[in-house]
Structure 1
Amino acid sequence: MANIVRLLSTLGLKGAVLGLAAQFEATRGIRIDADFAPTLALLPRLRGREAADLAILTREGLDDLAREGLVVAESRTDLARSYVGLAVKAGAPHPDIATAAALRTALLAARSVAYSRLGASGILFAQLLERLGIAGEVNVKATIIPSGFTAERLLSGEADFAVQQISELKQVPGIDVVGPIPLDLQTPAVFSAGRLTSAERPAEADQLLRFLASAEVAPALRANGLEP
C-alpha cells in the first residue's frame, strides 16, 4: 500500500485527474486511488475522518478544514480556476447567453434547466436566478439533481440546458458547451489541494500535490475547461 495515495476530490477536477493518473504513476511509481464528489458532499466525509491522504476542494472548503485542524495549513495549494457555464445537447441550437438580459430570456424559454443542488455551481445558479428575478419560473420546471453531472440530463432528454462548472460539463460526451455565464454575474471557483493531517502516506501525498501544481499539467487542466 506504500505506493498508493488516497485522494478525495471535487468533481471539477475529475477529468483532469483521471487523464493525468497514468502519467503520474509512470513517472513517480505511485498509483492514485481517487473518489470524486461535490465539495459539499466531501466535507462531511472528511470531517467524519474518512481515510484519505490528499483533498481537492473549493478554496473555501479547504480553508475551513485547515481551521478545524484536518488539513495541514501550509500545504494548501491553489490548482485551478473554473467558471460556471451552460451546455446543450450536441447539435442543438446555441442560445445567446452573452449578457444578463439574453441569459434571462434563454432560461425562461427553456423547457427545463438542469443544475446541481450540492455543487458550488448549483448554489451560484440558484442565487443568480433570484438576482434575475426568475427563480420561480425556472425552478418550477427545473431538473435539480443532488450531485453528479448535470449534462447527463441533456442526453436523457430531461433538460434543454445544463448548468455546471465548465470542467464538469466537458466530462460528458455528446454535449456542446455554449460558454460561460456572463463573467460579471459570477465569481470563479478556485480549486485547491491540501494534505490531510491524518494522512497515512504524507510523502506520496506531497508528491501528488507538487505534480498537480506543476507546469507540466497545465495543458491537461486547460483541455478540461480549467485555468491553471
Structure 2
Amino acid sequence: MRLIGVRALGLVLAGNLLAGGLLFGAAEAAEIKVMNSGGFAAPYKALVPEFEQATHNHLDVAWGPSMGTTHDAIPVRLARGEQADVLIMVAAALDDLVKQGKVVPASRVEIARSYIGMAVKAGAPKPDISTVDGLKRALLAAKSIAYSDSASGVYLSTEGFKRLGIADEIAGKSRMIPATPVGEIVARGEAELGFQQISELMPVAGIELVGPLPPEVQKVTLYAAGISVNAKEPAAAKAFIAYLTSPGVAPTVKRFGLDPITAKP
C-alpha cells in the first residue's frame, strides 16, 4: 500500500491547499478511488485538477445516487464488492454505511449544505415560487412534475408535497426519476417542472433554474465524505477530504449552489 505523508517528499499543495494550510507529500503517486453522488458532482469536477496537479495523485470516480436500488447507487456498488477509498454522498446515507461497518466512523466529515430547487425548460415561463402559495399554484397548474430518486425527491414525495396540502391533487402527474438527472428530463420536455438539488440542476443545459423552495418547505441536505473500511489508499483519501474542506476551495463549492462547510483550524 502506498501511504501519503507530510514528510515523504514535503510537497506543499499550491493555491487552495496552501491557503488552507494543508501540506501533503507522496512517496509514490496514489490512485484514489472515489464514489460520488450527483449533488457534489459540479464542484468535484472543478476542484479535482488542482488537487491532482499539486499532489500528483489521480482520482478515479464512479458516479451514483446516495440511496436507492439502481445499479449505480453507491450502497449497491459497495454491496456487490466495488472498491472505494473516498465516499462523497448525502450525510444520512453515509451514516447508514458507517452503521453497517462500511465506512471508518472517525473519517466522516461534513463538506456542504445543499438546497432543493425547481427548474423549467429554457425559455418557458418561470412561476414565482418565492412563497408557499406561489409554489402551490405552480404545482397545481403544471401538467407534469419530476423529482429525483435521491434525498430531495424522497423528501418531496414523502413529506414536502404533504406539507403543502396538495399531495393527492398532484400525485397523478408526478413521478420519481431513477438515476437520470431531473434537469435532463425537463430539458427534453418530458416534465414541465423538475425538482432536485440546486447543485445538480445548475450544470444541466437546456433548463433554467427558477429558484429554491421557500424556506417554510425547504429541506437542507448535508453532504459528507468518508473513508471506506476497504480503502487501499487511506492516507491519500484523508488528504483529499481535508482538501475538500479547506478554506480556499469554499468559493468554488459556493459557485455551484452549495453552502460550503470549512474545517476548523
Measured in 2, the distance between the counterparts of 1:131 and 1:159 equals 22
Once the two structures are TM-superposed, the CA of residue 119 in structure 1 deviates from its matched residue by: 0.6
How do residues 210-221 of structure 1 correspond to structure 2 at under 5 angstroms?
A: 210-221=242-253
SS in 2 for 1:163: strand
Measured in 1, the distance between the counterparts of 2:89 and 2:34 equals 11
Once the two structures are TM-superposed, the CA of residue 132 in structure 1 deviates from its matched residue by: 2.0
AA partner of residue 64 (structure 1): D
Q: Which residue of 1 aligns with 2:70?
A: none
Deviations 1:180-205 (A, max 9, x none): 11122133000000111110111211
Q: Work out whether residues 143 and 159 of structure 1, in 8 Å CA contact, stay in contact via their aligned partners in 2.
A: no
AA partner of residue 181 (structure 1): L
Q: Determine what percentage of the aligned residue pairs are the same residue.
A: 41
How do residues 5-16 of structure 1 correspond to structure 2 at under 5 angstroms?
A: 5-16=32-43
Q: Which residue of 2 aligns with 1:140?
A: 172
Measured in 2, the distance between the counterparts of 1:215 and 1:49 equals 34
AA partner of residue 34 (structure 2): L
Tell whether 2:237 aligns with 1:205: yes
Deviations 1:188-226 (A, max 9, x none): 000000111110111211111111111121111111110
Once the two structures are TM-superposed, the CA of residue 72 in structure 1 deviates from its matched residue by: 1.1
Match of 1:19 among 35, 40, 46: 46
TM-score normalised to structure 2 length: 0.81
TM-score normalised to structure 1 length: 0.94
Measured in 1, the distance between the counterparts of 2:180 and 2:252 equals 21
Q: Mark the structure with the bigger radius of gyration.
A: 2
Q: Which residue of 2 aligns with 1:106?
A: 138
AA partner of residue 31 (structure 1): H
Measured in 2, the distance between the counterparts of 1:69 and 1:223 equals 34
Unmatched segments (≥5 aa) in structure 1: none
Q: Work out whether residues 128 and 185 of structure 1, in 8 Å CA contact, stay in contact via their aligned partners in 2.
A: yes
Q: Work out whether residues 113 and 141 of structure 1, in 8 Å CA contact, stay in contact via their aligned partners in 2.
A: yes
Q: Work out whether residues 120 and 209 of structure 2, in 8 Å CA contact, stay in contact via their aligned partners in 1.
A: yes
| Deviant stretches of 4+, over 3 Å | none
Once the two structures are TM-superposed, the CA of residue 143 in structure 1 deviates from its matched residue by: 4.2
